Chain A
């Protein structure tokens, strides 16, 4: 097997499939990247069996063929290659890579041992701009559960009905949801749970522009865009009925400059308890006071921002990290906050983008005993 390609194509291919590369724990061959060339195309594949990523690039092929290369070694090399042609030669699993005056030799493994790349060839199909898909992923993925025991929450739910797609993630403490209505949205009714790992690969490895063609069949999803195809298993769906969890509108509505709120939280958060990450939000006429207390060092920090609030004083406590996650993912200048009381969830939206909603449960204040809620 022998081909020549640009160092840019080589770097793009290796870097794109790298996040999907598996670990030797499940199968040693998965630590390798599969490389094949045929006609005028070179393909790179990385897989951990549940997510598979393929990236294609242009190349001049001298001898078609396929092999696998150890990912760890290759990844270390690609970033520092000069801008020149990369010449890849393989014979009997001996691999030779040349780029300008750099050359490397390594041992590959038989391509036949690598799991076959099975594309999703049938099922429900639709497409959306990849930029929109990535924005949805950015706004929801942080709210997925990191707890190993809650793997039914370690993904984002995509619910498609009547041409509207709802994308929801929750870890039980907060819930992040995005609505998408595009001309290309599917007409079918469909509900799938896409694993976080897959979304992470989508986020890092798909190109930034173009249309993402999505195909879903039984327990598999395929997303193709430009030079890339990703095929992934879907999660077993025990996702909670989120429409029952999302509260109705809050009684109190305030509007705040998102940048100012983020900066204020950042300042006050230096003095919160490391264990609880709790900030107290105190609303008074025209202002929002944010207070952090750090008992370990006997310190406290406070910051005040202007708001359009015009009601009775109230206060509510949030884990500032959970709040910052959502504020960071938003794009608009202003954020609208809906509150009811100190024990009811806060609802956060982007002003000017009604497709996004973030629901965050407060922290119960220390002096209150738990009373059974209705």
Chain B
């Protein structure tokens, strides 16, 4: 979906149409931007940037608090439309998903007409525009969907992939962020075709074994990652940005306790127990430090998680530096338990199928 949260705001409050809209937390609480309308993006506003920075870039922007219920409702409508096409849907976020239509279409032209219909259905049903990308795999479909935003429809056919990718900057490859881009620059790799000229060994040396070989595959438009519909959560985390920077260790520990409790509650609800517990600290100057440890017996207990995170915090050399964000992350989950097994005495309502 295009500028999803911001578009929902513009749809529901017509007075916002054509205006720069930012959905996010208030700058006085150090809120961040959840979404920026295309009018605001022209000024450089981007999601995840602090609201105050976004408002500096675009002072005339209208700031709206997020209404997640409305976004979820729109998301459900969109997913209902997806389900009409296929059940092989991999949701990425509320407004983004991969659809595997390989068993629904006979060729790429068919996929193209299906996508036109999909865009129309989404527009009719939600009054929101979507950008659709078609490709022979997830990687190319993602690039195609980003290529003509907003309200875009773009297809990368298998035979075109090699030439299409060649001149693009490496940044377009999902997963290549500023840091990887920097490393690649040192190697004099700027475009996808530069990337192809490097050997796997060379890339692996600079980027790690796994990522190096994957990046080289992607450079040739190859991606064999399947569309996975029901994905088990990989991590559960909770973070908090403070309204004023903090340097008191004891106060931080109290906050870790709060965060641990929230994480534990969510683990509990999802019937998960974590082996890995970690913390994240963002300092005044925005640099981030993370620490994590693995415990023998998986847990969903708030106190246990809190104790681990507190000892992790003690291992970070803080030197009284001011920090602006603390986070608790859990991962490494045991297989989830069967919900039906939770009834007392194993009296179980049997199911028809």
Contact = CB atoms under 8 A, between A and B. Distances in A.
Contacts of A343: 350
Contacts of A27: 11-12
Given A25-B67, A26-B70, A236-B80, A361 B347 contact: no
Residue among A26, A173, A238 with the highest chain B CB neighbour number at 10 A: A26
Contact of B353 (A113, A233, A245, A370): A245
B337 interface: no
Contact of B352 (A113, A245, A278, A365): A245
B348 A235 contact: no
A173 B349 contact: yes
Contact of A363 (B12, B125, B344, B349): B349
Given A25-B70, A28-B12, A113-B14, A362 B352 contact: no
A235 B80 contact: yes
Residue among B74, B80, B81 with the highest chain A CB neighbour number at 10 A: B80
B285 interface: no
A366 B347 contact: yes
A222 interface: no
B352 A174 contact: yes
A152 B87 CA distance: 12
Given A28-B12, A238-B87, A275-B344, A361 B73 contact: no
Contacts of A363: 347-350
Contacts of A26: 12, 70, 73-74
Determine the interface band of chain A, counting residues with CB < 8 A from chain B. 20 to 34
B346 interface: yes
Nearest to B84: A236
A236 B83 contact: yes
Contacts, number: 71
Contacts of A174: 352
A359 B352 contact: yes
A359 B73 CA distance: 33
A236 B79 CA distance: 10
19 contacts: A25-B73, A26-B12, A113-B14, A151-B76, A151-B80, A172-B352, A236-B84, A238-B83, A240-B353, A245-B353, A276-B347, A276-B349, A278-B347, A345-B352, A363-B350, A364-B347, A364-B349, A366-B345, A370-B348
B343 interface: yes
Contacts of A345: 352
A90 B185 CA distance: 68
Interface string B1-43: 0000000000111100000000000000000000000000000
Interface string B203-225: 00000000000000000000000
A361 B349 contact: yes
B344 A361 contact: no
Nearest to A242: B352
Contact of A319 (B11, B13, B349, B352): B349
Contact of B350 (A175, A236, A238, A364): A364
A250 to B, nearest CB: 15
Given A361-B351, A362-B350, A364-B348, 20 more contacts: A25-B67, A25-B70, A26-B12, A26-B70, A27-B11, A113-B14, A151-B80, A170-B352, A173-B351, A236-B80, A236-B81, A236-B84, A238-B87, A276-B347, A276-B349, A317-B347, A319-B349, A361-B350, A361-B352, A370-B346
